[in-house]
Amino acid sequence: MNGASEGPIVKSAQRWVYLFLLLLGLQARTATAAIQFDAFVGYDSVVRDGAWFPITFELNNDGPALPAVIEITPPGFGNASTYRIPIELTSNTRKRLVIPMFGAAGRFNGNWDARLLDASGKIRAERLGIPIKISTWGATLLGALPKNFSSIPVFPELKLNRPELKPGVARLQPEQFPDNPLALEGLDNLYLNSERAAAFSVPQATALLAWVRGGGHLIVAVEQMSDLASAPWLAQFLPVEILGTEDKSLLSGIKDWVANNEEARRKPMAMRIPRTSNKKETAVESTYASLMKTPLLPEGGQLLATGKSTDGRVLARLGDAPLMVEAPRARGTVTVLLFSPEREPFRSWSDRGVFWAKLCQVSPELWDSPDFSVAETWSIDGVFGAMLDSRQVRKLPIGALLLLLLVYLAVIGPVDYLVLKRLNKQMLTWITFPSYVVIFSVLIYIIGYQLRAGDTEWNELQVVDILPRGDKADLRGRTYFSVYASKNSTFPLASDAGISSMRSELVDLMVGAKDGEQPAIVHHGNNFSGTINVPVWTSSLYVEDWFKTGDRPVSITARIKDGHTEVEIKNLLDRKLAGVRIVVKSLVYDVGVIEAGSTRFIKADGDGQPLSGMVRAQASAFRNVVQSRRNPLGDEMTGRLEDPGLNAMLASFTGLMSSGEYGLSVFAPAGMDLSEQAGRGDIILFALDANSNYTKRLHQFNPPRQSHRALLRYTIPAPRNS
């Protein structure tokens, strides 16, 4: 009896045990198939204010296929945008993607959050509180791809009161290196050991070279001849041909270059000013040689790559052997070190930080005083807003507003009292007072409607940098667009410009983006779609940054003839170019109109207008316009600029808009300012292409009013005497 009765019980228990083990197995499999989700913000966690920087995501899905969305939330004060990236995670796949993000100053002082959501919106993985370090606009940032981590470049220690002002070095990894040229614009300089170049993919190499042509400074240390054979894309880009190697004691030649003040090229100190205005001027100017502390050099030889310069300039040499060769590449620069700064004895040189400071053009004045601060700044975005804001908007003069206020106070006060007292109906004030409020509210609405009502309007101005690349050209564009809304509206946008992203207007470096004007952005590969919300009867300014390769719209060459610079400009378009101007030796020459398919020759004989004088004369007007544009009252004409060709040209030289002896106060995003190119003697062409667009239509709606213009900018090195 007992044995018979125990059989079913045992079998039932076994089934429960099997079920339990099955559930454990499924749970273990689910845990094993968990999604790996990592997010890396900035360059080695360094975020650059006022420039684009990368956010890198690495995902590994061991489970079933998953359609997902990455959601990024930057720190902010309740109005920060949320960026979304749709991604398809197939089974057993590993993906890495890089998204450019703009450092809208004032919003990025905090930790970042990143989440991975499935199709139902459920959080599948998240990384909260990703810490960052700030590198403020104006501080030098050097990206480094060394062979060894211990050999990373260094700068001399600075005792600054604010760490974000110090020049910084960010160590990068080849596998996480951005393949998007926009994401590199937060770097001033990039050090690349030639051995690392072989690990670059084609998109990474393309992005790096595009960044250089757009104004970056690439520093390449030749480690072995075979490195360049493994990276032909880099060998073709360098201004030197490597012939062999030999062992030499070369530190004395490097030290002589550091101490040579004639070779010193210093970038403006940008937004750094001393806190105390009574700083004593010293008779002896700060030099890099004065920063060197050790007169003795480490002994020993070092491997030197022997070679000959092809199209570059020898910066330093040891006897007849070149040590460093430099050459321009479009708006940027490439410097070749024919030795490895990661090897001994250079690696043990105590003053190697001064070498890097000079090579990266960090001003030695920073070591004069530890008491530096951030100057008050205003953004050049406001200047473009003054060109593009709808002319349908009219402001109420302050005098009229005060008169309306006085009339309102008089009506609800003494007039109401006297009238009701004379009628002996004082109790009617409970009716008359609300009536006055309603009447004046309707009156104010009518006045606002008369001043600001109109049609929805789209105005855009593209600033297009032409960066020659063989027969083609890289086009680095910034589309400033302003939308005027005839009612509270949400407007759809979509970009297909090759590589693109967008940002809001910046007010200044403290406030960051304008309140309430954060777009909703969805990235699709290298492009985006999104929406913007514009309140009724207002204009909102945004910027689309884009990059594409195409035909040259214009070409420019220069030569020395009879002691003067002769410039040849060819209009390669099927339409005329207006407002053509060239800058030669810091003088501006007004060319006028160049018809379609025609060529003009301009002789720069010294009778042009001084560039610095034109820019500084307009700088105060720019600032007044920006301030007036932010004020909803007053004369609307004081917040407008009517000549886009001239004003956009002058706005391209923010480095010349000095506001006192202690530095600059005008902020421009990375790559906008051409002051450095003008200062080194480059020839710069400006031309206005009216009623044109160099990308597909960004706005996905049909505004009754719209305008499209483009300012072309083309920079070439000045010719040399034969």
Written as one string, the DSSP assignment of 610-668 is EHHHHHHHHHHHHHHHHHHHH-SBS-GGGG----HHHHHHHTT-GGG-B-STT-B-EE-
- From the centroid of its chain, how far is CA 386? 21
CA separation for the pair 23, 2 (Å, rounded) = 32
Tokens representing 295?
Answer: 């007169």
Per-residue pLDDT band for 558 (boundaries 50, 70, 90) equals very high
CA separation for the pair 472, 487 (Å, rounded) = 44
In tens, the pLDDT along 491-550 reads: 999 998 889 999 988 877 666 556 556 788 999 989 999 999 888 888 889 999 999 999
Residue type, 99: I
pLDDT at 52 > cutoff 60: yes
| Contact of 79 with 515, CB cutoff 8 Å | yes
Angle at 35 between CA 34 and CA 38, to 5 degrees: 135
Give the strand pairing for 705-716 and 457-469: parallel
| Contact of 252 with 296, CB cutoff 8 Å | no
CA separation for the pair 10, 16 (Å, rounded) = 10
Residue type, 382: G
CA separation for the pair 111, 173 (Å, rounded) = 22
CA separation for the pair 302, 250 (Å, rounded) = 7
Residue with tokens 């001043």: 451
Tokens representing 83?
Answer: 């960026």
> How much is the pLDDT for 442?
82
Q: Is 373 exposed, middle or buried (0-12, 13-18, 19+ CB in 10 A)?
A: middle
pLDDT at 553 > cutoff 70: yes
More confident residue, 151 or 374: 151
Alpha carbon distance, N-terminus to C-terminus of the chain: 117
In tens, the pLDDT along 174-210 reads: 989 999 999 999 999 999 999 999 999 999 999 999 9
Q: Is 343 helix (H, G, I), strand (E, B) or coil?
A: coil
CA separation for the pair 101, 541 (Å, rounded) = 18
Number of residues that make up the chain: 722
Tokens representing 214?
Answer: 């757009």
Give the strand pairing for 599-604 and 564-571: antiparallel
Residue type, 285: E
More confident residue, 155 or 605: 155
Angle at 629 between CA 628 and CA 630, to 5 degrees: 90
Helix-helix angle 251-259:352-359, to 10 degrees = 50
In tens, the pLDDT along 443-464 reads: 777 776 666 667 899 999 999 9
> How much is the pLDDT for 609?
95
Closest CA to 286 of 313, 261, 307: 261
| Contact of 428 with 676, CB cutoff 8 Å | no
CA separation for the pair 98, 214 (Å, rounded) = 20
> How much is the pLDDT for 722?
53
Residue with tokens 């190119």: 677
CA separation for the pair 597, 570 (Å, rounded) = 7
Query: Which residues sit opposite 447 in a β-bridge?
Result: none
Share of the chain above pLDDT 70, in %: 84
Q: What is the mean pLDDT of residues 275-292?
A: 58
Give Cα separations from 354 to 155, 292, 360, 370, 491 (angstroms): 7, 7, 10, 17, 52
> How much is the pLDDT for 449?
66
More confident residue, 688 or 409: 688
pTM of the model: 0.86
| Contact of 223 with 303, CB cutoff 8 Å | no
Per-range mean pLDDT, top range of 12-16, 266-270, 342-346 = 342-346
More confident residue, 279 or 416: 416
Q: Is 517 helix (H, G, I), strand (E, B) or coil?
A: coil
Per-residue pLDDT band for 377 (boundaries 50, 70, 90) equals confident
| Contact of 434 with 370, CB cutoff 8 Å | no
Question: Would you give the DSSP letter of residue 169?
Answer: E
Tokens representing 435?
Answer: 């009536």
Number of neighbours of residue 147 by Cβ within 10 angstroms: 17
Question: Would you give the DSSP letter of residue 375?
Answer: P
Q: What is the mean pLDDT of residues 382-396?
A: 85
Q: What is the mean pLDDT of residues 351-366?
A: 90
Give the alpha-carbon dihedral of 71, 75, 78, 82, to 10 degrees.
Answer: -20
In tens, the pLDDT along 303-314 reads: 888 888 888 999
> How much is the pLDDT for 559?
93
- From the centroid of its chain, how far is CA 629? 24
Residue type, 325: V
Per-residue pLDDT band for 30 (boundaries 50, 70, 90) equals very low
CA separation for the pair 398, 447 (Å, rounded) = 14
> How much is the pLDDT for 422?
79
Q: Give residues with Cβ within 8 angstroms of 483, minimum separation 6.
A: 456, 457, 458, 491, 532, 534, 539, 540, 542, 699, 703
- H helices of 520-630, in order, are 611-630
